[in-house]
Structure 1
Amino acid sequence: MPPKQPTYIPSVRARRLARWLSDYRLQADLSQEAVTARLGWSQAKLSHIERGRNKATPTDVALMLDIYGVVSPEREAVIDLAEKADQRGWWTGYADVFSSPYVALEDEAALIGEWAPQIVPGLLQTPDYTRAIMRAGNLEQTSEREIERRLQARMARQTIITRAESAPRLHVILDESAIRKAIGGPTVMREQLQRLISDANRPNVTIQVLPTSVGENPGLDGSFIILRFAEEEDPDVACTEGLHGVVYLEDQRLVRRCNVAFERLRELALDPQESVALIEATAEQ
């Protein structure tokens, strides 16, 4: 059974706000009980806000800052963060497709590291390759119209790696089997491999292939994604994706394990130049 998902997963800004509010309370030497008694809140509400499990409204934040004695200009900066914490972006137009806040976190990431043992990651897929995967996984008999809508959303999502400003660095490690599966047939797969070769030339994209000659490795338990952010105070996010949807690893010990696993996979994989050469040879076959 997959881990139970939280009802609210905060954006990067919301996570930062939660940490700030907790830090301000501790600096004021106040317990959660003392704060909730003065605000007339339940302790659960404050605890959930500080742990990033509930949204903190600007009004709530202002009341908390009053108690903590936070003054200008810090006060205005924190309230401004609260107002922007759940600011929506390009994905708003695809609310019918994206049921998870993952795209919001991905959009704010400075580095996206992905271990892909089965298929080419969504950010690097061609439309025909994506369509073939969606049809293969269409267990609920979704209409072709809905599949095309999901395809359109995924293609829109890919623009983050080509945007002129603040494009994230993308580092993908593919298992060799992922480039040898003829998903969609030989023609579709050849086009997909050519797309990988082209994307590997982007300055912000690194692609490595883990050859089948490597036996035991840290990625045998399945795929995972690591998101790192520009601000050092924003902790990494790790998640997995599959039929169960997106599962977030909130425990920082598990996130660290993913980071260690990714580094080990990077060491075991072919270097970027060798990887592209293998992809080119596979495309020719």
Structure 2
Amino acid sequence: MPHLVDDSPVGQRRQLGAAMRSFRKEAGIDRDEAAELIEATGPTLTRKERGESKFKRQEIEVLARAYDIGRDDLVMLLELAREVRAGTRRGEFPMFVPLKSRAFLELERAEAVEVLAVTLTLVPLYFQTEAYMRELWLRSGDLLAPERIEELVALRKARQQVLAKRNPPTIRAVVHELALRLPVGGPTVMQEQLLHLAAACDLPNVEIQVQPISAGAYPGMDAAFYLLRFRNGPAADIVQVHGHAESFYRDRETATEPYRVAWDRRKVAALDLRASKALILEAATRFEVATGS
């Protein structure tokens, strides 16, 4: 029998599997118990959840009932599975944003080996302090209730745990100097934030570079994104692009390539690691002066 090559988009397969794994964890069902429901072995389900093989429609429907997945999420899962099977190129449609957001967070937490972060006016989310986060959501213009803000803070703090997990991904960030100068929350909040950011520079799995204002225009100056990288090469890269009100996602190699190029150009144009940390500490000192400390 000839060897059958699975030529469906690896990014879509990986996201579908990650979303299914996330729903399973949320439902509190272990791998082997879930595998029995679809008459498979635990390792087989693991391969499906890693995107190494495809989920069948019937398997998704059976597991959706066990995981108590809502109708809207089930529709997205089935449509994405259909596109994976067909090898079509429609997987970036807006209807998939909630599902891909779930998958992105699961992949970031469980499978990514490297994260490339580019930010413009904000400190990268992995290094934000609680006070800084609260101020961002308080001033977002969305008139969020205090309870919702605290919920968002808790979710982001949970996302930051990726820094301290066993075998964490390498996080490489290029931050524009504007993020160091913008007084989010005032001098006290910013001084705390910048000292926290400077401390993160010393973590063994973190590299932070600053793009200085003095350099003027620079490559990719209109892009802010987070790019996840995996062990099986750039074909599996997934990009979360930050827009005004929501994020969108890129998961095809041709669609993620411009972000890899943008990252490389930004990295070369930014200050080196030592100079970047020095600039962060200098900005923190200016806020210290402003507070009168």
TM range (shorter): 0.5 to 0.7
The answer to whether structure 1 residue 117 and structure 2 residue 120 are counterparts is: yes
Quick one: structure 1 residues 179 and 203, their matched pair in 2 at CA, closer, same or farther if it must change by over 3 Å? same
Distance 1:50 1:283 in 2: 40
Unaligned runs of 5+ in 1: 1-22, 33-46, 64-74, 87-91, 93-97
Quick one: structure 1 residues 275 and 80, their matched pair in 2 at CA, closer, same or farther if it must change by over 3 Å? closer
**What is the match of residue 209 of structure 2?**
208
Runs of 4+ in 1 over 4 A off after TM superposition: 47-51, 53-59, 75-80, 83-86
Q: What is the aligned-residue identity percentage?
A: 29
**What is the match of residue 107 of structure 2?**
105
Distance 1:270 1:48 in 2: 36
Distance 2:175 2:153 in 1: 22
TM-score (norm 2): 0.66
Quick one: structure 1 residues 185 and 249, their matched pair in 2 at CA, closer, same or farther if it must change by over 3 Å? same
* Contact 1:208/1:269, CA 8 A, preserved across alignment: yes
**What is the match of residue 273 of structure 1?**
274
Quick one: structure 1 residues 142 and 250, their matched pair in 2 at CA, closer, same or farther if it must change by over 3 Å? same
Q: Could you tell me how far 1:174 is from its partner in structure 2?
A: 0.4
Q: How does 1:1-285 map to 2 (within 5 A)?
A: 25-26=4-5, 52=13, 78-82=44-48, 100-101=101-102, 102-107=104-109, 108-139=111-142, 141-163=143-165, 165-232=166-233, 235-285=236-286
Q: Could you tell me how far 1:24 is from its partner in structure 2?
A: 5.6
Distance 1:76 1:280 in 2: 50
Q: Could you tell me how far 1:84 is from its partner in structure 2?
A: 6.5
Residue type matched to 1:226 in 2? L
1:174-195 CA distance string (max 9 Å, x none):
0011110010000000000000
* Contact 1:210/1:269, CA 8 A, preserved across alignment: yes
TM-score (norm 1): 0.68
Distance 2:108 2:134 in 1: 22
* Count of residue pairs brought into register by the alignment: 222
Quick one: structure 1 residues 49 and 58, their matched pair in 2 at CA, closer, same or farther if it must change by over 3 Å? farther
Q: Could you tell me how far 1:230 is from its partner in structure 2?
A: 2.6
Structure ID, larger Rg:
1
Residue type matched to 1:171 in 2? R
Distance 2:45 2:145 in 1: 44
* Contact 1:172/1:207, CA 8 A, preserved across alignment: yes
Distance 1:157 1:50 in 2: 21
SS at match of 2:151: helix
Distance 1:200 1:232 in 2: 26
* Contact 2:35/2:42, CA 8 A, preserved across alignment: no
Distance 1:199 1:168 in 2: 14
Quick one: structure 1 residues 199 and 157, their matched pair in 2 at CA, closer, same or farther if it must change by over 3 Å? same
SS at match of 2:209: strand
SS at match of 2:123: coil
* Contact 2:117/2:174, CA 8 A, preserved across alignment: yes
Distance 1:51 1:156 in 2: 25
Give me the CA root mean square deviation.
3.5
Q: Could you tell me how far 1:105 is from its partner in structure 2?
A: 2.0
Distance 1:151 1:196 in 2: 17
**What is the match of residue 18 of structure 1?**
none
Quick one: structure 1 residues 190 and 174, their matched pair in 2 at CA, closer, same or farther if it must change by over 3 Å? same
Distance 1:198 1:218 in 2: 27
Q: Could you tell me how far 1:270 is from its partner in structure 2?
A: 0.4
**What is the match of residue 291 of structure 2?**
none
* Contact 2:11/2:251, CA 8 A, preserved across alignment: no
Quick one: structure 1 residues 81 and 278, their matched pair in 2 at CA, closer, same or farther if it must change by over 3 Å? same
